[in-house]
Structure 1
Amino acid sequence: MTAASAAAQVPGNLPDPSPGVALEARHLVKEFRGFRATNDVTLQIHGGEIHAIIGPNGAGKTTLFNLLSGFLRPTSGEVRLFGERIDTLPPHQIVRRGLSRSFQISSVFPTMTVRENVLVALQSPTPLPGQFWTPLSRLEALGPRADAILASVGLGDAPNRPAADLSHGEKRQLEIGISLTQDPRVLLLDEPTSGMGSEGIARVIALVRQVARGRTVVLVEHNMSVVAQLADRITVLQYGGVIASGRYDDVRRDPRVIEAYLGEEAHG
């Protein structure tokens, strides 16, 4: 083993990321009462790529997403966004540095209209959230941008529908639109096609490709057909650790991945 390779295995001694690295995990460990949900996870996600994180149930995917987005603090290790360490920051500050995420469970306001959901998200980096006495009409200054976001996610014809009336797939579209209100450079999508039929899945695939233009997208996804169609690179987790990373065609042939997750599906 060379000195350089040995140094790369010591936490805190990884080389500085190249200018092409958007999001990086360095030796991430997260323990819950002695149980390691993530175990020494190191990965680099390059700017402009769609990167999928896959693995069997209990592999640590959601914990890793929560660590990357600041909803959990690591027991040890670091997360860096465009070279800046962010694992010590609260989620709202991470958002303002250019990282947004969606959630597996729907997080829209059901009693508000589609447009109002986007307007509320748009106001968050402005002084308006702290001015609860301000008339709602003040939000109309953000209206053109809200309309443009809704059009970009395929909901331009539904601004006044109550969010509760949306289909499951349409709620996913709205959630992605809400994530886009912060102009993220890196967008994390948690199970974007979960619970959808083939028509909804096709619509979300097209949407993810669209929103990925000019930004980096990281997604957790169980549907391997979706992963095959979308992902430039894949990281596979098992028991909280990385067992493989690379392009889909290479990863799907890795014996460790076949054993851990893909099985016969990898030969389809």
Structure 2
Amino acid sequence: MTQTEATPQPGPWAGAATPVALEARGLVKAFREFRATNDVSLRVDEGEIHAIIGPNGAGKTTLFNLLSGFLAPTSGEVLLFGERIHGLPPHAIVRRGLSRSFQISSVFSSLTVRENVLVALQSATALPRQFWVPLSRLDKLRPRADEILAAVGLGGAPDRLAADLSHGEKRQLEIGISLSQDPRVLLLDEPTSGMGSEGIARVIALVRQVARGRTVVLVEHNMSVVAELADRITVLQYGQVLASGKYDEVRRDPRVIEAYLGEEAHA
């Protein structure tokens, strides 16, 4: 029996009323003697927006890389709707319904906005494995590309070069690229990083929109964004889970106040 065929054993949240979309069990990632994550367990219920917060170096990005297959765990398990996915390559995980964006902008600057989405859309077809295919073969994907661009607020800019987009618009495009795989679970790494208040407001509205009918997990430093969006929060410190729960519960946890929120918790 292979790892993906094995029947998962019940986790610590077995019997929960809401189906579990994404679950980590005892995740450890060691780099020689350093443990970037140390026995991290996480449950994300289907349909919720779940925020992962913590100070710099807490292990948030490492955890995202483990969940999305960019790193293999030293030990522990990752399950997507009950199927073990740890150890699978990222493209195989995407095909099972999990997609992500990155903290650093990763669009093709020399392509147009629509072309960026078309490249992502064609990756799910046989086209990438066919050589000398006329560009007209992509025409059938254009209506879906334009739907995605409209959904992320870029419907009026399909022919602009990605290089000419603002920082916030590039974030919108990255989310659109992630949506091209029609994910059931979407991971967003610092979606409002480097934005002003106007850009942050647009991203909050966008995340709410794309969360309809899917599960969203985000790493975010801006606590006002977390308060606006998150149904539940997990706080990491030194690669371990410090606290987990609803925003109002977590922000009053003395351990969280001391480790991360400080005076902001009393505001």
3-state SS in 2 of match to 1:133? coil
Write the deviation string for residues 106-147 of structure 1: whole angstroms up to 9, x where unpaired: 000000000000000000010000113101111011000000
Equivalents in 2 of 1:137, 1:168: separation in Å? 31
Counterpart residue number, 1:14: 11
Counterpart residue number, 2:229: 230
3-state SS in 1 of match to 2:177? helix
Deviation at 1:16, TM superposition (A): 7.4
Equivalents in 1 of 2:262, 2:160: separation in Å? 43
Counterpart residue number, 1:138: 137
Is 2:157 the counterpart of 1:158? yes
Equivalent residue letter for 2:115: E
Counterpart residue number, 2:209: 210
| Unmatched segments (≥5 aa) in structure 2 | 1-8
Equivalents in 1 of 2:104, 2:12: separation in Å? 36
TM-score (norm 1): 0.94
Counterpart residue number, 1:175: 174
Moved over 2 A (4+): 12-19
Equivalents in 2 of 1:15, 1:227: separation in Å? 25
Equivalents in 2 of 1:24, 1:67: separation in Å? 11
Q: Does the 8 Å CA contact 1:237/1:243 hold for their aligned counterparts?
A: yes
Q: What root-mean-square deviation, in Å, do the aligned CA atoms of Structure 1 and Structure 2 show?
A: 1.1
TM-score (norm 2): 0.94
Write the deviation string for residues 162-212 of structure 1: whole angstroms up to 9, x where unpaired: 000000000000000000000000000000000000000000000000000
Counterpart residue number, 2:26: 27
Equivalent residue letter for 2:246: R
| Unmatched segments (≥5 aa) in structure 1 | 1-11
Counterpart residue number, 2:6: none
Q: Aligned residues, how many?
A: 257
Q: Does the 8 Å CA contact 1:30/1:37 hold for their aligned counterparts?
A: yes
Write the deviation string for residues 198-228 of structure 1: whole angstroms up to 9, x where unpaired: 0000000000000000000000000000000
Equivalents in 2 of 1:81, 1:13: separation in Å? 14
Equivalent residue letter for 1:207: L
Counterpart residue number, 1:257: 256
1:100-111 alignment runs, 5 A limit = 100-111=99-110
Is 2:195 the counterpart of 1:196? yes
Counterpart residue number, 1:113: 112
